[in-house]
Amino acid sequence: MSDIPRSTDVLIAGAGPVGLTLATVLADAGVDAVVVDQAAEAANTSRAAVVHARTLEVLRELDLADELIAQGIVSSRFTVREHDQVLLTVDFDELPTDFPFALLVPQDVTERLLTARLRKAGGDVYRPYRLTGLDVDAGGVRGTLASGETVRARYVVGCDGMHSFVREQTGIEFTGDSYPESFVLADVRLSWSEPNDQVALYFSADGVTVVAPLPGGRHRIVATVDEAPEKPGLAAVQALLDARGPRRQPARVDEIVWSSRFRVHHRLAAHYRSGRLLLAGDAAHVHSPAGGQGMNTGIQDAVTLGHKLTAVLQGAAEAVLDEYEAERRPVAEEVVAFTHRMTRVATVGSAPLRGVRNTALRALDWIPAVHRTMAMSLSELANRPAEER
């Protein structure tokens, strides 16, 4: 790509799903933005596998919803189970949205479509450029890159992930904790008798295990374990499903397509803005992948922030930028709390407590309002701005 511009209105650090979305919203509005990413190439691993209804609503604004849906699996139901017993069912098909389902699609596919869309809007990503310095003065910010080049901008947005350099420079606290467990993540080919358009969450004393269908005949397995192997193999994933999955007709792992392990934190930035520096996505919040909401919350941050930045750069008062934190931080706070509760309920250790939990969940399963509340929370439709409800 050509030489990096020396000045711009918005410098975006990080071209993950959040940076790409923000850059596209700005490009569509005619705002000058530069996106840099330290990686030489976009990540090609599947990571976040669920795109929820609220995210599809905001991606429709970018004309991306239909294209993404064409690449994924439409899933209208999540079930919570203990082995063969269904404890709770969450149906999405009655949701008040044009997208009454969860879309299962690997993150690299989502990022590929976002990158193509950014190019269509006239933008692109500068790689490999690592942001290593920020100097803020009255008129703007000078961003220094590891290459030694500098970019002057009116605003800098850290979409640079959990270990955000931008957040570090602001001194904004990132409070929370880490879960003691680690997560096994595997995309597999699976033989099993369950429907291939539903997500199943298996609760067990040893940890929670999610089995979700992916396009191309694959399934995503996510499981909490005390200590995950660096690269979980077929035997390890099979052992997890044997111990926690269906018993009447056990699942068989035929092949591991990709696997990884990761550690999960639940942390939230105390603020999303410090003057001309702003945060979005994992730079501002990280949480358990139970419910698959990390990337979703971040993409929604990016769309909101894109509109606010556009307004300010087109003459609105700077105070409009504070609305971003006011609107989006409570959403992340709720997601962090919700996924934390789910993770704790899923991993209740003692047999008597498990019995109480299962009885309570089965009782709740009879109450339609509970289904609706769960579906609204998981789909993130509960977080729609008031004017869109």
Ligand X SMILES: Cc1cc2nc3c(=O)[nH]c(=O)nc-3n(C[C@H](O)[C@H](O)[C@H](O)COP(=O)(O)OP(=O)(O)OC[C@H]3O[C@@H](n4cnc5c(N)ncnc54)[C@H](O)[C@@H]3O)c2cc1C
CA R_g for the chain: 21
**Residue located via tokens 């396009």:** 215
In whole angstroms, the minimum distance from the beta carbon of 243 to ligand X comes to: 21
For helices 53-60 and 294-313, give the axis angle rounded to 10 degrees: 30
CB-wise, 297 or 358, nearer to ligand X? 297
Residue among 47 and 371 whose Cβ is closer to ligand X: 47
Comparison of 339 and 358: residue with beta carbon closer to ligand X: 339
H/E element, 200 = strand 198-202
Size of the site for ligand X (CB under 6 A): 33
- With CB under 6 A as the contact rule, the residue among 78, 292, 346, 380 that binds ligand X is 292
DSSP element (H, E) containing 328:
helix 320-346
The two structure tokens encoding residue 171 = 């001194």
Closer CB to ligand X, 50 or 358, in the complex:
50
Q: Site residues for ligand X, window 167-186 (CB under 6 A)? A: 185
* Region label for 102, one of left (φ > 0), alpha (ψ between -120 and 50) or beta (otherwise): beta
- 335 binding ligand X? (CB under 6 A): no
Q: Is 114 in the site for ligand X (CB under 6 A)?
A: no
Amino acid at 247: R
Binding segment for ligand X (CB under 6 A), chosen from 37-45, 98-106, 134-142, 337-345, is 37-45
Q: Which part of the chain contacts ligand X (CB under 6 A), choosing from 36-44, 193-201, 270-278, 304-312?
A: 36-44
- What is residue 365's three-state secondary structure? coil
Binding mask 128-157 for ligand X (x = CB under 6 A): --xx--------------------------
Q: How far is the CB of 107 from ligand X (least distance, A)?
A: 6
Residue with tokens 């139901």: 77
Give the burial string for 1-25 (b: 16+ CB within 10 Å, else e). eeebeeebbbbbbbbbbbbbbbbbb
- From 34-42, 62-70, 231-239, 367-375, give the range in contact with ligand X by CB under 6 A: 34-42
Q: From the list 8, 169, 259, 293, which residue makes contact with ligand X (rule: CB under 6 A)?
A: 293
35 binds ligand X (CB under 6 A): no
Query: In the stretch 57-96, what mask flags binding to ligand X with x, by CB under 6 A?
Result: ----------------------------------------
Q: What does the block give as tokens for 84?
A: 């063969």
All residues at 6 or more sequence positions from 242 whose CB lies less than 8 Å from its CB, including other chains: 250
Q: How many CA atoms lie within 13 A of 236 on its CB side?
A: 21
> Torsion angle, CA of 111/115/116/120, rounded to 10 degrees?
150
Which stretches of the chain bind ligand X, using CB under 6 A? 13-19, 36-39, 47-49, 107, 130-131, 159-161, 165, 185, 222, 260, 262, 281-282, 289, 292-295, 298
